[in-house]
A and B are shown apart, each in its own frame.
Chain A
Amino acid sequence: MGIFNTKWPFYFSGTMLAFIILLSLYILNDVIGMGDTMTVANEFCHKSIDSGTPRAVPFDYCTIFAVAMMFGAFTASLFSNNFRLQIAPDCGGSFTSRQFKGVIGGLLGGFITMLGVQLSGESIYGHLAGAIQLSGNSWLFLLSMLFSGTLLAILFDRKGISQEGGDSK
């Protein structure tokens, strides 16, 4: 049971991550990214709002992968006693201030992240799969992301803007 309720060391996490992505390529003959799932979810919301009634959820294998992934993470959190309902991130300050950071940071950050993903044509999970296939597009994306993210995170850190935290592991 140790494997289910303890923190995984890097050599096990890295191996499992490589294994699951290679297995997806073999079994599904495709790389599943969350970008497609978000597009499907967006179209579903758009059509439901237009028609005024909820429509049937479009089930393709990308959607099923995303839903199953949520169940997988939920199950793992139960095994590790890490499931906790939290409505504001733990990033310092009063509840209102944390809530505000959660809403503004979430909306703005989510929008910009997905904008980048849509521009590059593949999700970050997909780019990780692309990197091992030596895709120039994926390497450029990942290196640019690492560069801009590191630079901004260091600047925020130096300014003392507490963006760190958000949840205790």
Chain B
Amino acid sequence: MNSPLYLSPAAKMIAAGFLGFAAGFIMMKSDLIWRRSVFGIFLLKDGRLIKTFLLYLILGCIGFFLLRRMNLVEVHIVEGYFWSAVVGGVLSGIGMVFCGFTPATALASFSCGRLYVLWTLIGMLLAVPFVKYANSFLSKTIYSWSDRMLSVSEPHNFLNPANPGLYIVIFSAFLIFLVHFTIGDKE
């Protein structure tokens, strides 16, 4: 029977090592870890990176659908709250304009010798206890403004008009062509 690999804890650690190495290598070779890349995407200047993410969405949506149909993967999503996702997204966007990194790209960039990223990592570490201490306040506000969002139902056919993934693929493919013929690959 097809299923995800249910590895033992030790095997999972070894696998995580290989996957982490590959992820770091891919992120660096794709130019995703630089401060400049964030601004290239936000200012719509770097067509190559925008197309990378759009292609990722296309292949990821199709790939996940196929693997899910074969029972090789399970759904792993955080069923968050509407307002926490919106406020969290807005804050992360603002933060990324100031520092130019996400947690993953900050670690990867630091390991490539960009020592000034240490300040970003310290800032990130300081935010963790802050949220912990503000938890009771957040529970009364952002987390209580909306109900927990449920995941979408999984269609049996990818081409089913009720499948949101179909629209994501079509729209992303359209955007790739648009970006290719407008922004191009060069910054």
Q: Which residues of A contact B (CB under 8 A)?
A: 4, 7-11, 13-35, 37-39, 41-42, 45-46, 59-62, 64-77, 80, 82-89, 99, 102-103, 105-126, 128-138, 140-154, 156-157, 163-169
Contacts and interface: CB of A to CB of B under 8 A. Distances in A.
A151 B86 CA distance: 15
Contacts of B122: 106-107, 110
B116 A86 contact: yes
Contacts of A32: 16, 19-20
Given A26-B73, A124-B104, A109 B120 contact: yes
B181 interface: no
Contacts of B78: 120-122, 126, 130, 135, 137-138
Interface string B101-119: 1111011111111111111
Given A61-B12, A115-B131, A165-B36, A140 B85 contact: yes
Contacts of A163: 39, 97-98, 100
Contacts of B108: 69-70, 72-73
Contacts of B159: none
6 contacts: A17-B27, A85-B115, A113-B95, A138-B77, A141-B85, A153-B42
Contact of B15 (A27, A82, A133): A27
A35 B131 CA distance: 12
B128 A114 contact: yes
B100 A73 contact: no
A139 B185 CA distance: 25
B96 A113 contact: yes
Interface of B: 4-7, 9, 12-13, 15-36, 38-39, 42-44, 47-49, 51-61, 63-64, 67, 72-82, 84-104, 106-131, 138, 142, 149-152, 164-165, 168, 185
Nearest to A138: B77
Contacts of B58: 14
Given A138-B77, A144-B85, A20 B26 contact: yes
B92 A89 contact: no
A117 B86 CA distance: 11
Contacts of B15: 27-28, 61
Contacts of A120: 78, 80, 84-85, 88-89, 92
